[in-house]
Amino acid sequence: DQQVKQNSPSLSVQEGRISILNCDYTNSMFDYFLWYKKYPAEGPTFLISISSIKDKNEDGRFTVFLNKSAKHLSLHIVPSQPGDSAVYFCAASYRQGAQKLVFGQGTRLTINP
Amino acid sequence: DSGVTQTPKHLITATGQRVTLRCSPRSGDLSVYWYQQSLDQGLQFLIQYYNGEERAKGNILERFSAQQFPDLHSELNLSSLELGDSALYFCASSAGRQGGNEKLFFGSGTQLSVL
């Protein structure tokens, strides 16, 4: 049962344009959401997060939007840069004793010059 | 550099064998997490240790076990290996024990190939 889904395995965007990565979840108990970025031969690195009490969080070029009623979140990157080419993982957590982090399958973002 | 060290980077072994993956967390971090990433799959949570004690368990097979030592490094033991165990195994660490809201720092992973 995939509780966190990233339905687009890959996305290609022109440099300077907006990149939008999407993520859907099924468990309404999730109360915290994160995005991690992964380069080849490296481990994932934390990018940005959002609590379920908010619907938007912004950090420089990165903005995460949360739509709780639709159980959907998205990551916007504006403007996209070549260094943004990586695999992006959406993750969600909920409190059940110790909190567990559930990851999506990842979306490979390619920024074309 | 995340500060999390995983060894070895690559491991090739045969079915039925047993291997040990090692992880040193960031200095000062008390929690260690193990994740498995199979082909085209997201990261699957296996297990978490906090200060030497098992804190949370995920989809970890009975053939797999882990422990965290007094110096806080952790080992993941995989036994009776099967072809399907081939995957990238990540270790992550965090300062506290609440793994969900905390920022996790990941190592670069151990690529296990079972032939």
DSSP string of A44-90, one letter each residue:
-EEEEEEETT-SEEEETTEEEEEETTTTEEEEEESS--GGG-EEEEE
What are A50-91's pLDDT values in tens digits?
999 999 999 999 999 999 999 999 999 999 999 999 999 999
From A44, A58, A55, select the one nearest A88 (Cα to Cα): A44
Strands B5-7, B19-24: pairing kind: antiparallel
Token pair recorded at residue A26:
């099924």
Most B-contacting residue of A8, A39, A100, A102 (CB-CB within 10 A), to test interface: A100
| pLDDT-above-70 percentage for chain B | 95
Asked whether the predicted pLDDT for residue B99 surpasses 80, the reply is no
What's the mean pLDDT in A25-40? 92
The answer to whether B88 faces chain A, any CB pair under 8 Å, is no
From A37, A99, A24, select the one nearest B43 (Cα to Cα): A37
How much is the pLDDT for A1? 67
What's the mean pLDDT in B30-51? 89
Task: Judge contact between A38 and A46, C-beta under 8 A.
Answer: no
| Closest CB to B41 among A32, A43, A105 | A105
Tell me the C-alpha distance between B7 and B22, whole Å. Answer: 5
Task: Judge contact between B98 and A99, C-beta under 8 A.
Answer: yes
Query: What are the distances in angstroms from CA A96 to CA A2, A108, B63, B99?
Result: 18, 31, 25, 11
What are B58-72's pLDDT values in tens digits?
889 999 999 999 999
How much is the pLDDT for B1? 85
For residue A104, the chain B residues in CB contact (below 8 A) are 42
Q: How confident is the model at residue B97 (pLDDT cuts 50, 70, 90)?
A: low
